[in-house]
């Protein structure tokens, strides 16, 4: 770890983020511009995100599979809106094995086309439905304005693709997966997302409707943290995904797709991080507990390490790391683990052993307020209880911050002030793609998604009556 302080979030949020990702050893820049190397600490966080989502997918009936990285270019042109949406971002392979390829191949930007082709082959009858498949994969979208985790040329994600017999079933499934994402974000990552539908101009290329979970970052900007798409029959018609229904009539399937990527790591960093570094939610942190043994002499070491081993055994299934590094001061180690955001630090010195106590330091409450001594007797219950408290506190703190930075505004002047200086604007909105584009151009704020709302109001921009409320914010 380098000893220089991080820039403060207040001073330069973007630079704070860039330096923190590198210095906390989450990721690094790759030799290919726009790509990233995810380091073991960052990958462990991603694995915990994967495990939490995968469990939820399987509980809702999904199975995992793997589809090819290379897609024939002709597949990309079958769904018109889809190809228009993706063509600027495609990486295309023209040569293989020293030969010019008969047909260029696209490096997967998303898998609707290849999966649609396979579904057309596999689905014959209503008995084959629904098909509920997810894949964990890497994708490539040609992107040069990069920011580690948030926007890179290659990134890792899961993409679910389902096929259904009816429109109702597919629409319900789209909503079900949005709810799964919101549940994961709130209960595992302590990121209080707002779930809702995207506007027509912000939806996925080729979808009938797109839904997202939107998270507020520590600088009050919005981050789209996951999306769920109702594809209607667009892809089924483009790829000929048909089935014989119960009356022996040939019908097109109704399909969905949905994804969460390594971008979610960025959401965790920017929702919870502080000027000392990362603050990781216990449910997902690579290490939930770090133990720092403190001793000067060999006899002290033997005594302290015996207690440390006892604690490790007593904490059983928790993810515990013992910092055995020699030649570093306890202070240095404390700062290092603070930077890396480990939820709970246990300090064990000769005095603690003598007094039968342990020093616990919570990462979510900085300084002396977050530190307390607990009796060694009963630590097996006290430590998991402290982790549960940290998890709950992180969610409460992030929710309070979000709610304090959402403002209901009724005119454009107020709106501009809010999105430029204060946070998100919640407004009554009369749908109009041209006005939406104008607002985006003038204020850099985009329509994030529709709020679940009842009643009627007056559109802040046109003065027309409407029953829709939306969130506008500047985003990543």
Q: Report the pLDDT value the prediction gives residue 173, as an integer from 0 to 100.
A: 98
The model's pLDDT over 384-416, given as tens digits with 9 standing for 90+, comes to 999 999 999 999 999 999 999 999 999 999 999
What sign results for the dihedral spanned by CA atoms 324, 325, 331, 335? negative
Rounded to a whole number, what is the largest CA-CA distance in the chain? 83
Overall residue count recorded for the chain in this entry:
476
The model's pLDDT over 71-115, given as tens digits with 9 standing for 90+, comes to 999 998 887 777 677 778 899 999 999 999 999 999 999 999 999
406-474 CATH fold: Translation Initiation Factor IF3 (3.30.110)
Tokens of 205: 């290329």
Centre a 10 Å sphere on the Cβ of residue 403 and count the other Cβ atoms it contains.
Answer: 11
Bridge-partner residues for 232, per DSSP?
A: 255
With a CB cutoff of 8 Å and minimum separation 6, the contacts of 194 are 213, 214, 215, 448, 449, 451, 471
Angle formed by the axes of helices 379-404 and 263-272, nearest 10°: 90
Q: Using omega within 30 degrees of 0 as the cis cutoff, is the peptide bond preceding 130 cis?
A: yes
Q: Report the pLDDT value the prediction gives residue 28, as an integer from 0 to 100.
A: 97
Between 3.30.565.10, 3.40.50.800, 3.30.70.1290, 3.40.190.10, what CATH number should domain 289-388 receive?
Answer: 3.40.50.800
Pick left, alpha or beta for residue 82 (phi over 0 → left; psi -120 to 50 → alpha; otherwise beta). alpha
13-272 CATH fold: BirA Bifunctional Protein; domain 2 (3.30.930)
Strand 194-197 to 154-164 pairing: unpaired
Pick left, alpha or beta for residue 372 (phi over 0 → left; psi -120 to 50 → alpha; otherwise beta). beta
Residue spans of the chain under pLDDT 50: 1
Tokens of 91: 């990486």
Domain spans of the chain, in order of start? 13-272, 289-388, 406-474
Whether this model's pTM surpasses 0.85:
yes
With a CB cutoff of 8 Å and minimum separation 6, the contacts of 67 are 108, 111, 114, 115, 118, 135, 137
DSSP string, 414-466: HHHHIIIII-EEEEE----HHHHHHHHHHHSEEEEEEEP--S-EE-TTT--EE
Q: Which of 149, 182, 224, 153 is nearest to 474 (CA)?
A: 224
With a CB cutoff of 8 Å and minimum separation 6, the contacts of 196 are 211, 212, 214, 448, 449, 450, 451, 452, 471
Distance CA 327, CA 337 (A): 16
């Amino acid at each position: 770890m380098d000893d220089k302080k991080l820039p403060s979030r207040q001073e330069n949020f973007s630079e704070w983020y860039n330096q923190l990702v590198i210095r906390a050893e989450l990721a690094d820049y790759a030799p290919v511009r726009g790509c990233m190397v995810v380091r073991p600490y960052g990958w462990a966080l991603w694995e915990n995100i994967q495990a939490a989502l995968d469990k939820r997918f399987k509980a809702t009936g999904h199975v995992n599979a793997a589809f090819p990285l290379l897609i024939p270019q002709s597949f990309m042109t079958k769904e018109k809106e889809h190809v228009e949406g993706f063509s600027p971002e495609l990486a295309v392979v023209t040569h293989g094995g020293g030969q010019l390829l008969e047909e260029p191949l696209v490096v997967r930007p998303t898998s609707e086309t290849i999966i649609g082709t396979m579904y057309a082959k596999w689905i014959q009858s209503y008995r084959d439905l629904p098909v509920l498949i997810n894949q964990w994969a890497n994708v490539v979208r040609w992107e040069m304005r990069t920011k580690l985790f948030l926007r890179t040329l290659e990134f890792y994600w899961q993409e679910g693709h389902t096929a259904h017999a009816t429109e109702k079933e597919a629409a319900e499934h789209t909503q079900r997966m949005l709810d799964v994402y919101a549940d994961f974000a709130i209960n595992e990552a302590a990121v209080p997302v707002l779930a809702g539908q995207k506007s027509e101009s912000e939806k996925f290329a080729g979808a009938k409707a797109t839904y997202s979970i939107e998270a507020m970052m520590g600088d009050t900007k919005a981050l789209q943290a996951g999306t769920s798409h109702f594809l209607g029959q667009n892809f089924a018609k483009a790829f000929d995904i048909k089935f014989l229904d119960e009356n022996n009539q040939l019908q097109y399937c109704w399909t969905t797709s949905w994804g969460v990527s390594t971008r979610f790591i960025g959401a965790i960093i920017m929702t919870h991080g502080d000027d000392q570094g990362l603050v990781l939610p216990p449910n997902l942190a690579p290490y939930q507990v770090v133990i720092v043994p403190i001793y000067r002499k060999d006899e002290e070491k033997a005594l302290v390490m015996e207690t440390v081993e006892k604690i490790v055994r007593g904490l059983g299934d928790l993810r515990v790391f013992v910092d055995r590094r020699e030649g570093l001061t306890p202070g240095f180690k404390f700062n290092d683990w603070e930077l890396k955001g480990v939820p709970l630090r246990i300090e064990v010195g000769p005095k603690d052993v003598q007094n039968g106590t342990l020093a616990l330091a919570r990462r979510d409450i900085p300084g002396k307020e977050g530190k307390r001594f607990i009796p060694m007797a009963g630590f097996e219950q006290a430590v998991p209880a402290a982790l549960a408290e940290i998890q709950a506190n992180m969610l409460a703190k992030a929710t309070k911050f979000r709610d304090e930075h959402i403002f209901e505004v009724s005119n454009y002047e107020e709106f501009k002030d809010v999105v430029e200086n204060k946070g998100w604007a919640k407004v009554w909105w009369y749908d109009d793609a041209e006005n939406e584009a104008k607002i985006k151009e003038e204020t850099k704020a985009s329509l994030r998604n529709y709020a679940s709302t009842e009643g009627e109001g007056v559109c802040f921009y046109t003065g027309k009556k409407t029953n829709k409320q939306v969130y506008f914010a500047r985003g990543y």
